[in-house]
Amino acid sequence: MSKVLVTGGAGYLGAVLIPKLLVRGHQVRSVDIGYFGVEHLRGMRPSVEIFREDIRAVLADPAELDRMLKDIDVVVHLAAISNDPSAELNARLTEEVNFEASRDLAMACKERGIRFIFSSSCSVYGEAPGEVDEEGATNPLTVYARSKVNMDNFLVDQADADWRPTILRNGTLFGYSPRMRFDLVINIFSYCAALYGELRVFGDGQQWRPFLHVADCARAFVHFVENPNRDHVMFNIANENMRVVDLIGIFQTINPACVPIHVKLENPDTRNYHVSTARMRAAGIQPRIDIRTGAEEIVEAIVTGRIADPESIFYRNAKWLKELTELGARDHRGLIGMLDLMAAHRVVR
Ligand SMILES: NC(=O)c1ccc[n+]([C@@H]2O[C@H](COP(=O)([O-])OP(=O)(O)OC[C@H]3O[C@@H](n4cnc5c(N)ncnc54)[C@H](O)[C@@H]3O)[C@@H](O)[C@H]2O)c1
């Protein structure tokens, strides 16, 4: 059994990963600034040790850093400004969190002999012809993707015989999480299929994406917590590659009244990539949940009220972070207090 530090543990992926680690007997400590609250980590049994901190502040204070890493065997590093639009809001913040703090945390782990598993993204491939594997060229088109490439490259350079970090380049996630996100394409379509029957497709929808259920992604992290990587440092983690426009047929099997609405964009999204998952499968990782099953799960969570107010900007990272910025919420402790208050009134079943 390992003692695992999950950074960003209160996020969409972390909130699905942590229970899986607990069930398998691992002890979990989470460090998360709490942009989206941390209350949903509190009721877990056995309990999660919760550090409600900005990872940058912890790294700046050697005593705090020692406290955060005390007795830890593996760090699963998820904390990030976690999508393109929120990364563009404040490119400097993205650089600080997604690269500089990540780099410093990795080095602190290397110095202490702690294993390090990093949540990267298939968006590093940007616009790639054909199926791209882990040796394929990166082509980051956004601030977010550049921050992930920088960190991937740093970790590859740092890997040696004594310290072998693991880099998981995840596809676009979907599915239910106790900390929901409605800014990921399948989750957005699920929301629209549940409430409006209209699926807004930006551009022509011909862009390829690799998709992965959030629980399958969490299982991949569990795999590497329990099985240190052997032959490779970097893995594409995805299940189905699909064009956005092809999702429509899947949603029409869930709600036959769904119609696509094509929205023209001034600056069309040129990201277009589909990935090889041969390396992941050779390592023994087999995703289990397909798009239809995961989408239906969310549609029903909305229809039954399990997700109480899906319209809220709280579930849309860029809109929510922009709102926080406009509130002048630079004092993160004050911000966290405000989130607690909101969580106390939020119905999450
Ligand atoms: N969701 C996806 O589709 C997807 C795909 C590929 C990669 N990823 C990566 O996986 C990771 C998790 O993604 P997610 O969907 O759970 O995102 P998320 O935004 O839900 O979670 C990120 C968490 O990090 C925390 N955080 C942000 N800045 C912090 C800081 N300075 N200190 C401490 N905590 C901080 C936030 O409060 C949040 O809880 C991210 O690194 C993301 O880039 C996600």
Instruction: Give the pLDDT confidence of 120-176 residue by residue, as tens digits.
Output: 999 999 988 889 999 999 999 999 999 999 999 999 999 999 999 999 999 999 999
- Map tokens 């913040």 to a residue: 93
pLDDT band at 314 (very low <50, low <70, confident <90, very high): confident
Q: Is the distance from the beta carbon of residue 35 to the nearest atom of ligand 1 less than 6 Å?
A: yes
Which tokens go with 278? 């041969």
Confidence of residue 313 (pLDDT cuts 50, 70, 90): confident
CA distance 120 to 132: 15
**Mean pLDDT across the chain, nearest whole number?**
92
pTM over 0.85: yes
Q: How confident is the model at residue 200 (pLDDT cuts 50, 70, 90)?
A: confident
Sequence-distant (6+) residues with CB within 8 A of 235 are 134, 166, 167, 168, 169, 220, 229, 279, 280, 283, 285
CATH of 3-345, one of 3.40.50.2300, 3.40.50.720, 3.40.50.1820, 3.40.50.10300: 3.40.50.720
Interior CA angle at 29 toward 336 and 163, to 5°?
A: 125
Work out the percent of the chain whose per-residue pLDDT is above 90. Answer: 77
Q: Helix, strand, or coil here: 179? A: coil
| Gyration radius of the chain over CA positions | 19
Residue found by looking up tokens 């709600």 in the block: 255
3-state secondary structure of 251: helix
Q: What is the pLDDT of residue 348?
A: 42
Q: Which one of 20, 35, 64, 82 would you pick to mutate in the ligand 1 pocket, going by the greatest count of ligand atoms within 8 A of its CB?
A: 82
Q: Which of 45-49, 298-302, 332-336 has the lowest mean pLDDT?
A: 332-336
Q: What is the pLDDT of residue 130?
A: 87
Residue among 6, 13, 68 whose CB has most ligand 1 atoms within 8 A, to mutate: 13
* Predicted confidence band of residue 303 (pLDDT cuts 50, 70, 90): very high
CA distance 12 to 159: 28
**Domain locations along the chain:** 3-345
Does 330 score more than 60 pLDDT?
no
Helix axes 247-254, 291-303, angle to 10 degrees: 50
What is the structure's pLDDT at 347?
43
- Cβ atoms of 157 and 264 within 8 Å: the answer is no
pLDDT confidence bin for 282, thresholds 50/70/90:
very high
Establish whether residue 207 lines the binding site of ligand 1, counting it when its CB lies within 6 angstroms of any ligand atom. Answer: no
pLDDT score of 277: 97
Q: Is 36 in the pocket of ligand 1 (CB under 6 A)?
A: yes
- CB-ligand 1 contact for 37 (6 Å cutoff): no
Pairing of strands 49-51, 115-121: unpaired
Strands, E, within the chain: which ranges? 3-7, 27-31, 49-51, 74-77, 115-121, 127-132, 166-170, 172-174, 198-202, 208-213, 234-237, 240-243, 259-263, 272-275
> Residue 183, SS3?
coil
Is the pLDDT reported for residue 341 higher than 70? no
Query: From ligand 1's centre to the CA of 168, what distance in Å?
Result: 14
| Residue 144 annotated to the active site | yes
Q: How confident is the model over 222-241, as a mean pLDDT? A: 95
DSSP bridge partners of 260: 199
Which of 6, 12, 146 is the best mutation target for the ligand 1 pocket, counting ligand atoms within 8 Å of the beta carbon and taking the most? 12
Cβ atoms within 10 Å, residue 269: 15
Buried b (16+ CB within 10 A) or exposed e, 313-325: ebbbbbbbbbebe
Mean pLDDT of all residues in 27-46: 94
CB 36 within 8 A of CB 179: yes
- Measured from the CB, is residue 55 less than 6 Å from ligand 1? yes
Residue 62 has pLDDT above 60, yes or no: yes
Q: What is residue 328's predicted lDDT score, i.e. its pLDDT?
A: 57
pLDDT for residue 349 is more than 50: no
The H-or-E segment that residue 254 falls in is helix 247-254
Ligand 1 site, residue 152, Cβ cutoff 6 A: no
- Which helix (H) or strand (E) is 337 found in, with range? helix 332-345
